[in-house]
């Protein structure tokens, strides 16, 4: 369980860090992504992408973990 939690946290951090770059190359926002912009504050939490990555990693682990 700890490995999955650590994997999810790392995936969220990577996705958050790469989100502006991914938008420039054509990967837009998914439904569920949280994007808050104010005058001096910007917050981006890619919830949709984190769910997609979690499902993909789960499938990979299930296929190769046996």
pTM value surpassing 0.85: no
pLDDT at 26 (0 to 100): 63
Contact 45, 16 (CB under 8 A): yes
pLDDT at 27 (0 to 100): 66
pLDDT at 42 (0 to 100): 84
pLDDT, averaged per 10 consecutive residues of the chain (66 residues), comes to 77 77 71 83 81 82 76
pLDDT at 21 (0 to 100): 79
Per the structure, the count of domains in the chain is: 1
| CA–CA gap between residue 53 and residue 11 (Å, rounded) | 7
pLDDT at 1 (0 to 100): 65
| CA–CA gap between residue 58 and residue 19 (Å, rounded) | 21
Q: Name the residue range of residue 46's domain.
A: 2-64
């Amino acid at each position: 369980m700890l490995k999955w939690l650590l994997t999810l946290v790392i995936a969220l951090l990577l996705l958050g860090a790469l989100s502006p770059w991914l938008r420039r190359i054509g990967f837009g926002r998914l439904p569920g992504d949280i994007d808050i912009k104010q005058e001096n504050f910007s917050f981006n939490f890619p919830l949709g992408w984190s769910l997609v990555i979690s499902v993909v990693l789960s499938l990979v682990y299930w296929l190769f973990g046996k």
